[in-house]
């Protein structure tokens, strides 16, 4: 059987353990800094996306408003044209309205 000597010095191991604690503390600080930086970046990204979304929404609102005004103008012009045509040719207008009514009745019956 071998004799185990226990009188050896374990100072290198103790030093390594102490350095490990310092290294871990440094790594934890680095991770905390990275998490803080990530949080700031995510908040900045959210603000940027919000600003871009508001800008795009305003553009789409303006575009929709322009299209609506265009459609309303075209509708008004069409109504004016129909009114003028009815006043110019009242008999033809009555005949067309009567024919449209018969056609609608026929289609809706089925």
| Domain residue ranges in the chain | 11-109
Neighbours of 93 (CB within 10 A): 15
pLDDT tens-digit profile of 5-63? 555 555 555 566 667 777 888 888 899 999 999 999 999 999 999 999 999 999 999 99
Do residues 109 and 101 lie in contact, with contact meaning Cβ atoms separated by under 8 Å?
Answer: no
pTM metric for this prediction: 0.48
- Scanning the structure block, which residue is given the tokens 């930086």? 37
Q: State how far the Cα of 57 lies from the Cα of 51, in Å rounded to an integer.
A: 10
């Amino acid at each position: 059987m071998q004799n185990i000597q226990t009188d050896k010095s374990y100072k290198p191991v103790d030093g390594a353990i102490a350095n490990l604690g310092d290294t871990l503390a440094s790594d934890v600080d680095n991770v905390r800094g990275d998490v803080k930086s990530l949080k700031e970046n995510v908040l900045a990204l959210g603000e940027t996306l919000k600003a871009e979304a508001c800008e795009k929404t305003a553009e789409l609102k303006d575009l929709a408003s322009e299209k609506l005004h265009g459609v309303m103008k075209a509708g008004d012009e069409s109504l004016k044209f129909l009114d003028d045509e009815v006043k110019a040719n009242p008999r033809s207008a009555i005949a067309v309205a009567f024919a449209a009514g018969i056609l609608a009745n026929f289609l809706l019956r089925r």
